[in-house]
C-alpha cells in the first residue's frame, strides 16, 4: 500500500472553508498522513531532518495550499527552501535524489473562478503557468509529477454543492493511491 503525505500550507486551516473541506475529506484514509505546516511550525522554525524523514517515509506527496499572489504561502515557500536541499532533494550531476520516483501532486485553491485563469481572463494566464515554479521544482527533485488539482472560486462563486463534489473527488484521488 502506498503511503500518502499531505503537506498542507494554509496559514489558518481551521478558518478555511475550502482547504479545510479538502483535508477533512481525506483525514480518515488510513494511508494518508496530514501534515499541517502552520500548526507544526507557528514560529517558522522548520525541523529539516524531521521533514526529510517524513518525505522519505511516504510514496506520494501532495502539496496543498491556497494561491497567494500567484504563488504558495510564505511558510510553504520557506519549507521548500529549507527541505529541498542539494544532494538530498536534488542533484546537479543527474544522480538519483532521495525523492526520485515518488509521486507528487500539487493541489491548490484559488479565490476567483476558473475563467480568471485564462489568457483572456483577468490574470491573463492559466494557473499552471502562474505556478510553473512548482513543476520546475518537482522536476528538479525527480518526482513523478501527477496532474494538478485545482479548486477555483473559493472566495467568490464556489457553491457548497461544488465544494462537496470537489472534496469527494479529492478523497477518491488520494484513495486511489492506496493500491
The model's pTM is 0.97
With pLDDT > 70 as the criterion, what percentage of the chain qualifies? 100
**104-143 burial, b for 16+ CB within 10 Å, e for fewer?**
bbbbbbbbbbeebbeeeeebeebbeebbeebbebbeebbb
CA distance linking residue 110 with residue 113, whole number of Å: 7
pLDDT in tens, 14-47: 999 999 999 999 999 999 999 999 999 999 999 9
Q: Which residue has the higher pLDDT, 137 or 1?
A: 137
142-166 pLDDT, tens digit each: 999 999 999 999 999 899 999 999 9
For the chain, the average pLDDT equals 97
Amino acid at each position: 500500500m502506498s503511503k500518502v503525505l499531505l503537506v498542507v500550507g494554509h496559514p489558518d486551516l481551521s478558518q478555511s472553508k475550502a482547504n479545510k473541506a479538502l483535508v477533512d475529506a481525506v483525514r480518515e484514509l488510513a494511508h494518508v498522513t496530514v501534515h499541517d505546516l502552520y500548526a507544526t511550525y507557528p514560529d517558522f522554525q522548520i525541523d529539516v531532518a524531521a521533514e526529510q524523514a517524513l518525505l522519505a517515509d511516504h510514496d506520494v506527496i501532495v502539496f496543498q495550499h491556497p494561491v497567494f499572489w500567484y504563488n504558495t504561502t510564505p511558510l510553504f515557500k520557506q519549507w521548500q527552501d529549507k527541505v529541498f536541499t542539494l544532494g538530498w532533494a536534488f542533484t546537479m550531476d543527474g544522480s538519483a535524489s532521495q525523492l526520485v520516483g515518488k509521486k507528487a501532486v500539487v493541489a491548490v485553491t484559488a479565490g476567483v473562478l476558473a475563467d480568471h485563469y485564462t489568457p483572456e481572463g483577468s490574470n491573463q494566464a492559466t494557473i499552471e503557468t502562474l505556478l510553473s515554479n512548482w513543476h520546475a521544482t518537482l522536476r528538479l527533485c525527480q518526482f513523478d509529477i501527477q496532474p494538478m488539482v485545482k479548486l477555483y472560486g473559493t472566495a467568490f462563486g464556489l457553491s457548497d454543492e461544488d465544494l462537496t463534489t470537489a472534496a469527494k473527488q479529492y478523497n477518491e484521488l488520494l484513495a486511489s493511491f492506496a493500491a
